[in-house]
Structure 1
Amino acid sequence: MNSISVTLVLLCATLPVALSLIEGLVYNGNFEHGPKSWQLSGSHILDPHALPNWVISGFVEYIKSGQKQGDMVLPVPRGNSALRLGNNASIRTTIQVTKGLFYSLTFGVSRTCAQDEKLNLSVIPNSEANDSAMLPMQTMYSTDGWDTFSWGFLAEASKVDIVFHHPQTDKYNPGCGPIIDLVALKAFPPHTRRQGIVKNGNFEEGPYVIPNTTWGVLIPSNIEDDHCPLVGWVVESLKAVRYIDSDHFAVPEGKRAVELVAGRESVIAQTLRSIPNTVYNLEFFVGDAKNLCEGSMLVEVFAGNSTFRVPYESKGKGGSKLVRLQFKAVSSRSKIRFLSSYYHMKSDFSGSLCGPVVDGVRIRVAPRA
């Protein structure tokens, strides 16, 4: 199911078990239901209520597939329509949720004018400052200039407003700003399966992946989002990691994995309970995503006070190897961290960032000799 109607969400809001299984586009999250002709001046939307299920303010444009700005084609990733947020523009939608449940929002975004475009995302009501984020878009990761981001939040009410806001202005081009499309929501069940000591070590519980898209989903740094959509993990870095699926990438185990796409600026970490002076076995897969990411890769692994460097030779055609390591816990809490030592770009000369894939992380107490 690629779309969730308002009626369906309302019915399931009284059934937390059923709601936890619902995932897909919010109503009109692909903006295919657009304004009437009299609500537009060119592509500029004049009526704040012209888009079903959304309220707009500021300079918002309704972009059609193939539309140009000068010689540049404005990208619409899927379907016929998307929105561009110009001068101090925002769009808002209200959705029914289950109070106390954790949610992940997935949305597509593309930069169109400025190198330093920003997008503010917030959920209302919220009692924490980290329930809003300013996402920088200096780095675009996909080959076609369109990225899909994710963002997590804890529902503090049974009805929340999700707001996208472009805070910048351009007096020469009021429409200059990011394009947004494919807004989707996913609810998570209250409990997460563990692989031994590690929570969600196979990365199966993560943000919603838009079907039939080949971009993966970027999970932002914890600087922007303390509620990480990758359940059990934290992105401890300046830049994002990419969440990939087996329908479009090579995944070592199961259906999901993580690609460390920005070298030492892509880090995933998890803090575990441990017994001091106990030796643990750590195993995981390292590989490539079958996305033309070639060359000598090196994954650095930190576990407790131990550091390991795991090489992997990638031909960019998919492949992986199982790695087994040992470390000794020095306290009741042990942190594991994974990062890529090197920066990589795809061999298609697109300039797109890529990197090694990590999957199937497991930790168990080592048998005594």
Structure 2
Amino acid sequence: MEYILTFTLAPDGQNCSANANIIVSGPDNQGIFSFKQHYGKQAWQSYGQYLGLAGQDETVNLVFESQAVESDDNSTCWPVIDSLLVKAVEKLVQSRDNLLLNGGFEFGPEFLSNSTQGILLDSALSPVQSPLRQWAVVGTIKYISSKHFFVPHGNAAVEIVSGISAGIHTEVTLAEGSAYNLEFTLGDANNACEGDFIVEVQAGSVAQNFTIRSNGTGSAEKSLIKFKAGSRATPISFSSFTRSQTKDGIFCGPVVDNVVLLSSNGLIIIINPNILISLLLLIVILR
């Protein structure tokens, strides 16, 4: 089993000149976190972290350690940690309906029952060590639930919140030279995030910009890219090139959901001529 941690983080104090970092270490991964301003209305934030693999009944170490900062102690906010939640995720299996693993983003950190602002996921450049299973993270994204946000499909989606050059990335093994369709949904999270979102979508060697006009009330548009696989390791990515904020100054951005990759090659059935003649004779007799 693979394990993913959700935890909340808040600064211990106000009017701080610096926020101390917290180092979170699991069996196979380590991350550095700090309280970030302007990512939610509440005075605390939820984060997700991939911990690693563990066997049944195996004891593992989960360590939280503060990291010193170069600042006056009187103006440093030391982190407060609360609401730890560990989720076990089984190995994902590819289906016939989608060549991508976790294309609907249903497999990620567990949402906390008392959280209404989603889970922040910081950069995780390896899909293997990402809390958003099978997807690498660049910049900061928000993992959002359909309970508190507009999610186009299923129970969860991704909102790209840190702006320019942030996003998600994965790779899939495809047949070189074959044609494929990448279907996906872009929209907004119904969080008063207004404006034009520009999202670059890459599928193999094809890259295309999509502009989504948002009025901040929850909307979605389905789109499609057709491409041919140029190599066995084909990149699939969604990147935001817009930095957006609500009127309250909270960072927000485009929502990505329901990413489906399918072969566009039609099925060709070759029938033996003798069998075809027999079928025609049978039809005539039955008539």
Per-residue CA deviation, residues 176-218 of structure 1 (Å, 9 max, x unaligned), is 4112111111001233454511111111111010014211011
Q: State which of 104, 120, 124 in structure 2 corresponds to 1:218.
A: 120
Instruction: Give the whole-Å Cα distance in 2 for the aligned partners of 1:252 and 1:321.
Output: 9
| SS state at 1:337 partner | strand
- Match of 2:162? 262
- Match of 2:99? 197
> Unaligned stretches of 5+ in structure 2?
268-287
> 1:303-322 to 2 correspondence within 5 Å?
303-322=203-222
- Match of 2:85? 184
Q: State which of 122, 131, 135 in structure 2 corresponds to 1:233.
A: 135
Deviation at 1:224, TM superposition (A): 9.5
Q: 1:117 touches 1:138 (CA, 8 Å); kept in 2?
A: no
Instruction: Give the whole-Å Cα distance in 2 for the aligned partners of 1:242 and 1:179.
Output: 21
Q: 1:150 touches 1:219 (CA, 8 Å); kept in 2?
A: yes
Q: State which of 180, 184, 189 in structure 2 corresponds to 1:280.
A: 180
- Match of 2:279? none
- The RMSD of aligned alpha carbons is 2.3
Instruction: Give the whole-Å Cα distance in 2 for the aligned partners of 1:225 and 1:273.
Output: 14
Larger radius of gyration: 2
Which stretch of structure 1 is more off in the superposition, 280-289 or 183-192?
A: 183-192
- Match of 2:142? 242
> Unaligned stretches of 5+ in structure 1?
1-100
Asked whether 1:361 is paired with 2:259, we answer: yes
- Among the aligned pairs, what percent are the same residue? 32
Instruction: Give the whole-Å Cα distance in 2 for the aligned partners of 1:225 and 1:167.
Output: 26
> 1:46-65 to 2 correspondence within 5 Å?
none
Instruction: Give the whole-Å Cα distance in 1 for the aligned partners of 2:73 and 2:211.
Output: 50
Q: 1:152 touches 1:225 (CA, 8 Å); kept in 2?
A: no
- Match of 2:283? none
> 1:45-194 to 2 correspondence within 5 Å?
101-111=1-11, 112=13, 113-123=16-26, 126=27, 131-156=29-54, 158-168=58-68, 172-173=73-74, 176-192=77-93, 194=95
- Match of 2:272? none
Deviation at 1:278, TM superposition (A): 1.4
Per-residue CA deviation, residues 78-116 of structure 1 (Å, 9 max, x unaligned), is xxxxxxxxxxxxxxxxxxxxxxx2100000112343435
Instruction: Give the whole-Å Cα distance in 1 for the aligned partners of 2:42 and 2:140.
Output: 18
Q: 1:222 touches 1:228 (CA, 8 Å); kept in 2?
A: yes
TM-score by length of 1: 0.66
- Return the structure number with greater relative CO, CA threshold 8 A, min gap 6: 2
Q: 2:20 touches 2:76 (CA, 8 Å); kept in 1?
A: no
Instruction: Give the whole-Å Cα distance in 1 for the aligned partners of 2:136 and 2:127.
Output: 9
TM-score by length of 2: 0.84
Per-residue CA deviation, residues 121-152 of structure 1 (Å, 9 max, x unaligned), is 112xx4x5xx2222244555112242110001
Asked whether 1:345 is paired with 2:245, we answer: yes
| SS state at 2:164 partner | helix
Q: From the superposition, tell whether residues 193 and 247 of structure 1 become closer, same or farther in structure 2 (CA, over 3 Å).
A: farther
Instruction: Give the whole-Å Cα distance in 2 for the aligned partners of 1:173 and 1:224.
Output: 38
Deviation at 1:119, TM superposition (A): 1.1
Per-residue CA deviation, residues 143-170 of structure 1 (Å, 9 max, x unaligned), is 2242110001223461122111112166
